[in-house]
Amino acid sequence: MLVFGATIHFVRHSQEKGKKMKDIIEVELKTRTVDPAKCRTDLLAVGLFSDAKGLDKLNAQLDSKLDGAIERLIKLGDFKAKKGASAIVYGNDSTVAQRILLVGLGEKKKATIETIRKAASNAAKKSVEMKIETVSLALHKAFGGRFDLSAMGRAVAEGVYFGSYRYDEFITESENGRADSLKAEVIDSDSAKTRTLNKGLLRGIAIGKAQSYARTLANRPANVISPPELAAAAKELSRDSKNLNCTVFDEKQMAAKGMGGVLAVGSGSQNKPRFIILKYNPASKSASRLPTIGLVGKAVTFDSGGISIKPAANMDQMKLDKSGGIAVLATMKALAELKLPVNVYGIIPSAENLPSGSSYRPGDIITTFSGKTVEVQNTDAEGRMILCDGIHYAVKQKCDIVIDVATLTGACMVALGKHKAGLMGNDEKLIKQLQKASKDSGEKIWHLPSGDEYANEMKSKIADLKNIGGKWGGACTAAAFLRQFVGDTKWAHLDIAGMDMFSTATEYSAEGSTGFGVRLLTAYLMNLTSKKT
């Protein structure tokens, strides 16, 4: 099957054999110079602020063509322009647009670039639900003075991909069906503006596509994606891009290298572990002036907990325990498409954590790739066991900066809820750069500690360290575990547990994988390479 221009091979178990799998929705996105009030389209999306006194120029123009329908809708209290709200007004001959979608932007003074991204998501989601062929998005004039046009173009594109995404490749019988593609355009009457918008839009398309790619891979269940399948997807990606090289170590090669952490976690499953390395080699010489970055992502294709088995409720969600690794994979895809001038390794240790006669056990002492020995106290703390090998590999490759991404701890969800990912690290500048990338990308993070007091909890009497700390602050002890494998290298850790999925659909998104991390990491790399910063 063809997804995002790349064939993805499935290992089909007997029940799936012969099933026709659907493609993911295709988005075609561009800019067009046209007066929004005179735009011929299936759906014209316009933004409104909740605290605006009266209609702005564009909405007033549309309203007069509609004999006051927008004013009436607002007066009746059916649409208050709150964040996430929307209402539809049907057009007439003079509006030219068949339908007008009023999109709530919330309070004007609180608007950020994320407001634009979310408004675009909202409009795109409604468009797919309504089987709209072409949606035209008009940016509110009030944004003009506040944000850079190209940043707005990027946010709109990211939003359109995010909102139109859905995961239905295994649904063979759908009641209402859905459109297979969506045409979207960002419109403005000024051609100079559409040109600048377009620059950002093209970047946003690369990022949006990469994020949707991540969401599909992550949403696929563990019987479809095992570590070897993930490795095959990485190989496929590298074949599509001449700047990406992919090396995969199988279990024998890992054994020869002493990657004891990944091997231990993978030992209980018939689906053997893999160690996936993608290297992005930029064409530009200017890359040599920048630090080499190592992105390390946890890809546990299913986390049952192993011998320290998890409770049954919601265990199915643990197919998403590969989300960190997939965020790295998709960031490499975005990087190659954006052709950023920076050297980057994408390092993805991948294993399936299952209980069986060959599983690793509580009490086992594992010699990790770094040579450090770890006393296993809980086989469900498996993420750190594979990440420590990944991080050590990045350090050995002489990466100047290592950033790991992982659905690492339930404790991080307890601390931050499902609103922000945990950010830990050993370098102030790197923390600040990631916080800036978070603002630019709309993927929220919160700085948490990971110092020696947490590391001390993991002292072992029979090995160099234990794989769990005490009862409290589990997100911080997990990070402190990883910190012991970075040496003097600058390092940051993103605990994305809870951020990896929406349990239910929202106004902005379908349920399932969020692709969290792709926008954040890509924004970090874009900022690093931009001449402005």
Which residues contact Zn ion (rule: CB under 5 A)?
Answer: 300, 303, 321, 380, 382-383
Are 103 and 86 spatial neighbours (Cβ–Cβ below 8 Å)?
yes
**Which of 251, 303 has the CB closer to ligand BES?**
303
Which residue among the candidates 279, 384, 490, 519 is catalytic per the annotation? 384
For 103, residues 6+ apart whose C-beta sits below 8 A from its C-beta are 45, 46, 47, 48, 85, 86, 119, 122, 123
CB of 428 to ligand BES, least distance (A): 27
257 is catalytic: no
Q: Which of residues 226, 409, 441, 513 is near ligand BES by CB under 6 A? A: 409
- The smaller minimum CB distance to ligand BES, of residues 231 and 387, is found at 387
Minimum CB distance to Zn ion, residue 368 (Å): 17
Q: Which of 97, 105, 119, 381 binds ligand BES (CB under 6 A)?
A: 381
Indicate if 310 belongs to the active site: yes
Query: What is the distance between the alpha carbons of residues 36 and 38, in angstroms, rounded to a whole number?
Result: 5
Q: Which does 27 bind (CB under 5 to 8 A by kind): ligand BES, Zn ion, none?
A: none
Which of 199, 235, 310, 444 is catalytic? The answer is 310
Verify binding: residue 411, ligand BES, rule CB under 6 A.
yes
Percent of residues in the chain assigned helix, strand, coil, to nearest 5:
40, 20, 40
CA-based torsion, 169, 204, 236, 280: positive or negative: negative
- Candidates 45-53, 205-213, 289-297, 381-389; binding stretch for ligand BES (CB under 6 A): 381-389
How many residues interact with ligand BES (rule CB under 6 A)?
A: 17
Q: Does 404 bind ligand BES (CB under 6 A)?
A: no
Looking at the Cβ atoms of 258 and 410, the one nearer to Zn ion is 410
Tokens of 157: 């594109």
**Is residue 66 near ligand BES by the rule CB under 6 A?**
no
Please choose, from the candidates 351, 325, 326, 346, the residue with its C-alpha nearest in 3D space to the C-alpha of residue 335.
346
Residue listed under structure tokens 């923390």: 431
Q: H-helix or E-strand containing 531?
A: none
460 binds ligand BES (CB under 6 A): no
Which residue, 124 or 299, is less far from Zn ion as judged by CB? 299
- Please tell me whether residue 383 binds ligand BES under the rule CB under 6 A: yes
Per-residue binding string, ligand BES, 312-351, x by CB under 6 A, is: ---------x------------------------------
Q: Does residue 457 touch ligand BES according to CB under 6 A?
A: no
Among the listed residues 63, 169, 382, 440, the single contact to ligand BES using CB under 6 A: 382
Q: Please check whether residue 358 is in contact with residue 267, taking contact to mean a CB–CB distance below 8 angstroms.
A: yes
Stretch that binds ligand BES, among 50-58, 167-175, 250-258, 402-410 (CB under 6 A): 402-410
29 in Cβ contact with 185 (< 8 Å): yes
Which residue is nearest to ligand BES, using beta carbons?
410
Q: Output the smallest distance, CB 310 to ligand BES, in A.
A: 7
303 vs 404 by CB, closer to ligand BES: 303
CA 191 to chain centre: 32
Among 497, 510, 523, 528, binds ligand BES (CB under 6 A): 497
CA-based nearest residue to 402, from 451, 351, 345, 479 = 345
Residues whose CB falls within 8 Å of the CB of residue 516, separated by 6 or more in sequence, listed in order: 323, 327, 421, 443, 496, 499, 500
- Evaluate whether 234 touches 532 at the Cβ level (below 8 Å): no
For residues 165 and 78, is the Cβ–Cβ distance under 8 A?
A: no
Helix axes 191-219, 323-338, angle to 10 degrees: 150
Instruction: Identify whether the C-beta of residue 154 lies closer than 8 Å to the C-beta of residue 204.
Output: yes
Residue 497, contacted partner among ligand BES, Zn ion, none, CB below 5-8 A by kind: ligand BES
Q: Is 134 exposed, middle or buried (0-12, 13-18, 19+ CB in 10 A)?
A: middle
Active site residues: 310, 384
Residues forming the site for ligand BES (CB under 6 A)? 303, 321, 378, 380-383, 407-411, 413, 468, 474, 497-498
